[in-house]
Structure 1
Amino acid sequence: MVKIRLARVGGKKNAIYRVVVADARSPRDGRNIDTIGRYNPQTHPSIVEIDVAKADKWLADGAQPTSAVRKLIKIARAQAA
């Protein structure tokens, strides 16, 4: 199954995440199919940049978002409007 999930980048105690499309069997920071955005929770307000068109394409193709990514996509849609 293909999932839309967060992959951690950044240094120790400096978590920044990429929103990626990956096979569910691959490791969290391992191989991914596509990178569709980024999320930085350390800034105020948090930076959420997701290509909503790409996310919609992957969702239409059957990719399952994690609960955290589902919330981030909702925020990104609100920012785009």
Structure 2
Amino acid sequence: MVSLRLTRKGTKDRPYYKIVAVDSRKRRDGRYIEQIGTYDPMKDGDNWAVDLEKADKWLGCGAKPSDTVNSIIRKARTAAASA
């Protein structure tokens, strides 16, 4: 099964994350199928970027998002709707 989740990048004490579509059996930082966005918890304000078309494509195929990724996608949808 494909899941949408975060993969950790960056250095010690300076993490940033890629939002990726990955086989759920792969390890956290393992090989992924496609990158759909980024998340940087060290930045203030809008610290995420998501390609909603790619996210919708994977969700339509039955991919299951993690709780954090689901929250980021919801924020991106509300920001896109208000813009």
Shift of 1:47: 1.1
Aligned alpha-carbon RMSD (Å): 0.8
Amino acid at match of 2:3: K
Give the match's secondary structure for 1:43: coil
- Map of 1:18 onto structure 2: 18
Q: Deviations over 1:36-56 (max 9, x none)?
A: 000001111141100001100
Give the match's secondary structure for 1:45: coil
Q: Deviations over 1:22-79 (max 9, x none)?
A: 0011110101000000000111114110000110010000000001100000011112
What TM-score, normalized to structure 1? 0.96
What TM-score, normalized to structure 2? 0.94
Give the match's secondary structure for 1:16: strand
Could you tell me how far apart the structure 1 residues matched to 2:78 and 2:42 are?
A: 20
In the alignment, structure 1 residue 76 sits paired with structure 2 residue 76: yes
For structure 1, list consecutive stretches of 5 or more residues without a partner in the other structure.
none
For structure 2, list consecutive stretches of 5 or more residues without a partner in the other structure.
none
Q: How many residues align?
A: 81
Stretches (4+) displaced over 3 A: none
- Map of 1:61 onto structure 2: 61
